[in-house]
Structure 1
Amino acid sequence: MRINNNISAMNTYSRLTSAQGAQSKSLEKLSSGLRINRAGDDAAGLAISEKMRGQIKGLNQSVRNAQDGISLIQTAEGALNETHSILNRMRELAVQSANDTNTNSDRNEIQKEMDQLSIEITRIADNTEFNTQNLLNGDLTAKFHIGANKGQNMTLQIGSMTSESLSVNGKAYEAQDVTGTGLSITSRDGKAVKIAYANLAAAAVTDAVEESATYDKDTNTITVTLGQNSSDASTVGTINTTNSRLKSLIEDAASKGDEVFSVSVKTAGTENTALTVKPADFTSALWTEDVSISAPKLGINVSTQGAADEAIKVIDNAITSVSAERSKLGAFQNRLDHTINNLTTTSENLAAAESRIRDVDMAKEMMEFTKNNILNQASTAMLAQANQMPQGVLQLLG
């Protein structure tokens, strides 16, 4: 019999330590709900489950991205719903104005409402925003990231829905032939527009390289730019067709906006010089006809029976354009609804797979804990018995 090395106690102690370690791990798993709490629990399983976790979080965020996309689309579509209402009212006014039971005075009153409706269409297009991004002015090209990985996105473009884009705006200024001398131009506020004009009386050139007319609303000034067919400024002179061409230039420019217009028409030559028009130099001797520019019509013209009749067709085309845009938005929204359903299903299935790797089976682990607890108690009892075994030596010593 030996007392310095109690092999039985040492063996029992080893078993007790193992049982305590297993019981501690079971407690950790039961308290966390995870089968893998550290890489040492399952190195491969940890790597796989972490990759799955990244995918799951990406899919869940993609669902939120798609939902935000739907909110953006609903914002744009809601604004276009109001644009549709305005266009239908404009069409109603055009049909009313096309009836000759109305006098010119009646049509002028109809035109006033038409102008305001046109302004409102543009205001809606310029001010409809989502998260400070303008939706309806033609600038929006949005990518919705609807997947967990790189490049998994879809692109939405919304066309310009301004009155100008829909062709239901009016000319800011309208040029007309009148009797008398000189050029008469009336601004939007009814005041006379200042004329800046070059001294052409001293020259004798009869053709121009380029012409343009620009209106500055801040200074209330129209600047006329004429060209020449040589680099010598002194050759710039009277142009017999200037007045009628200027009328055309202003009309074309006015159709492009209701505030500032500028347009150029090239004819011949390569040189051109900007000229400033002065009222003192503006005499009937320089012109073959007279021109007047009336106050603006901001909405599509319905001031005559013919114009109103033509406006009906233009407004119908605008309604069709808005309908097409709303239809596209609706289809895009439906697509996003299906995307959300797919992403949600994918995320759920991936979460289930990740759970099988990472999460603990509570019932099974409770069985393990109970077993380890019993082994721990048994090992403790057996260790006490093993520690008593060397006392048998005392009998030999007695």
Structure 2
Amino acid sequence: MKINNNIPALRGLNALHQNTLALNKSLEKLSSGLKINKAADDVAGMAISQKMRTQVQGLKQANDNAMDGISMIQTAEGSLNEVHDMLQRMRELAIQSANGTYGEVDRAQIQKEIDHLTSEINVTAGNTEFNQMPLLTGGEPLGDSGFSIELSRTVDENGNEIADLTTDGPRLATLEEYTQYDATLPDASLQTPGTGFTVDGVAFEFYDSDAGPYTGSAVPIDIKGADTGTTQDVLSEYDESPGFKNFNFDGTDKFTAKEPSSKGNYMIANDGGIPTTDIDIQIGANANQLLEVNLESLSSHQLGLSAPPGTPGYGPAPNIEEGVGIEITRAGLDFTNEDSIHYAIDALDKAIDKVSSTRSTLGAYQNRLEHTVENLGVSEANMTTSLSQIRDTDMAQEMAEYTRTNVLTQSATAMLAKSNELPNTVLQLIQG
């Protein structure tokens, strides 16, 4: 028997320390509900769970982003519904005005309502916003590039000239005529990045390839010519695919209407231009998981409801008001003479088609986002399940472990007390 070192007591003390440590871990897990409270609990599990936690939180936010995107699209589409109603009313008035039973005074009264409806379309497009972001005014306007275009002649279906409109003066085409325009195209090599022009409603923008790739939303033209070729090359390529809606380009400087009669005067062309507004919606938990929503400018000018003064089919329109961020044009659809009225009917048909196309695109975006929301919800649930398996405590299992270690701790405490009594037996030997 030895008294200098109480080996049984040391062993009991060691067991008590181990059981107390295990008991404290169980208490920590039961109180937090987490199986991993610090890196030492599970080194690999901690690293994996943090990645999964990042994904789960990203998926939650992406879901909210997609819902915001749906709200934005519904805002734009709701405004376009009103624009559609106004265009339908304008076409109804055009059909009424075309009736020969109405005189000049009657048509002048109709013209007033037409002008105010045109004005309201401008205001609606200018005031439609989401989170203070304009939705229907397009992107940053392009600077002037020196582009110009002129209604020069009418031709037959084979391209043979019928009338020279540079000498006779511009007019609407007759039923058998196709309008033809002469354009002065800017030399790309002389342009400044950020300038551009518009042809048949399509915006073209000059950029410098030496400064990096094109990042805008218009059709790009490289001022160095390295990536795109000349201005004529870009127009020719666009004419082939996807193609201008109303005109064919001859590869040099002429645009010829695809349809005869006054429909061939529906040319939305000007120096400068307004590209689309591109709004990126973050719909994923990782970088660059985006849905790009493109929104066009839908002012009266972009819809062909107004044009520069002197354009055939358009007349003075003093009642047209300027919308927010939209430059005023003082020539609107002319309902005062029969030729212009029939052109107005065609122009309104094209405007209605353009708004319908835009609304269809917005509807497609909304459907995609709704599917995205569903997919994000499923992904979030599955990822959360996986995270829970790694990180969360099984309370029943941990309670059983707590009970075991608690009993062992109490037992170790009792045995340590008994071990400390063993040296007392040495006194019996001494006394004996």
Letter in 2 for 1:357: I
How many Å apart are 1:188 and its aligned residue?
A: 5.1
1: distance between equivalents of 2:404 and 2:77?
A: 64
The 5 A counterparts of 1:349-368 are: 349-368=382-401
Counterpart of 2:87 in structure 1 is 87
Q: For 1:165, which of 302, 324, 349 is the aligned residue? A: 302
1:150 aligns with 2:183: no
Q: For 2:381, which of 348, 359, 366 is the aligned residue? A: 348
Letter in 1 for 2:305: V
2: distance between equivalents of 1:34 and 1:258?
A: 64
Gaps of 5+ in 1: 176-185, 190-255, 260-295
Letter in 2 for 1:327: S
Match of 2:366, SS state, is helix
How many Å apart are 1:257 and its aligned residue?
A: 6.8
4+ residue segments displaced more than 3 Å: 170-175, 186-189, 256-259
The TM-score with structure 1 as length reference comes to: 0.68
Counterpart of 1:117 in structure 2 is 117
2: distance between equivalents of 1:369 and 1:174?
A: 88
Counterpart of 2:360 in structure 1 is 327
Q: Deviations over 1:188-239 (max 9, x none)?
A: 59xxxxxxxxxxxxxxxxxxxxxxxxxxxxxxxxxxxxxxxxxxxxxxxxxx
Letter in 2 for 1:61: Q
Q: Deviations over 1:260-309 (max 9, x none)?
A: xxxxxxxxxxxxxxxxxxxxxxxxxxxxxxxxxxxx6x531111233222
Match of 2:333, SS state, is coil
Counterpart of 1:36 in structure 2 is 36
Q: Deviations over 1:62-88 (max 9, x none)?
A: 111111111111111011000001001
How many Å apart are 1:169 and its aligned residue?
A: 2.1
The structure-2 alpha-carbon separation of the partners of 1:44 and 1:257, relative to structure 1 and needing over 3 Å to count, comes to closer
2: distance between equivalents of 1:26 and 1:348?
A: 28
Judge conservation of contact 2:62–2:283 (CA < 8 Å) in 1: yes
The structure-2 alpha-carbon separation of the partners of 1:134 and 1:377, relative to structure 1 and needing over 3 Å to count, comes to same
How many Å apart are 1:372 and its aligned residue?
A: 0.3
Gaps of 5+ in 2: 140-276, 320-325
Match of 1:34, SS state, is coil
Judge conservation of contact 1:171–1:258 (CA < 8 Å) in 2: no
Larger strand proportion of the pair: 2
Letter in 1 for 2:131: N
Match of 1:299, SS state, is strand
Letter in 2 for 1:101: T
Match of 2:280, SS state, is strand
Task: Output the aligned Cα RMSD.
Answer: 2.0
The TM-score with structure 2 as length reference comes to: 0.63
2: distance between equivalents of 1:32 and 1:188?
A: 72
The 5 A counterparts of 1:1-398 are: 1-139=1-139, 140-169=277-306, 172=309, 258=328, 298-398=331-431
Letter in 1 for 2:340: A
The structure-2 alpha-carbon separation of the partners of 1:93 and 1:170, relative to structure 1 and needing over 3 Å to count, comes to farther
1: distance between equivalents of 2:335 and 2:4?
A: 118
Match of 2:291, SS state, is strand
Bigger CA radius of gyration:
1
Judge conservation of contact 2:29–2:393 (CA < 8 Å) in 1: yes
Identity %: 48
Q: State which drifts further: 118-127 or 163-172.
A: 163-172
How many Å apart are 1:171 and its aligned residue?
A: 5.3
How many Å apart are 1:96 and its aligned residue?
A: 0.8
Match of 1:157, SS state, is strand
1: distance between equivalents of 2:336 and 2:349?
A: 18
Q: State which drifts further: 309-318 or 85-94.
A: 309-318
Letter in 2 for 1:333: Q
2: distance between equivalents of 1:188 and 1:22?
A: 87
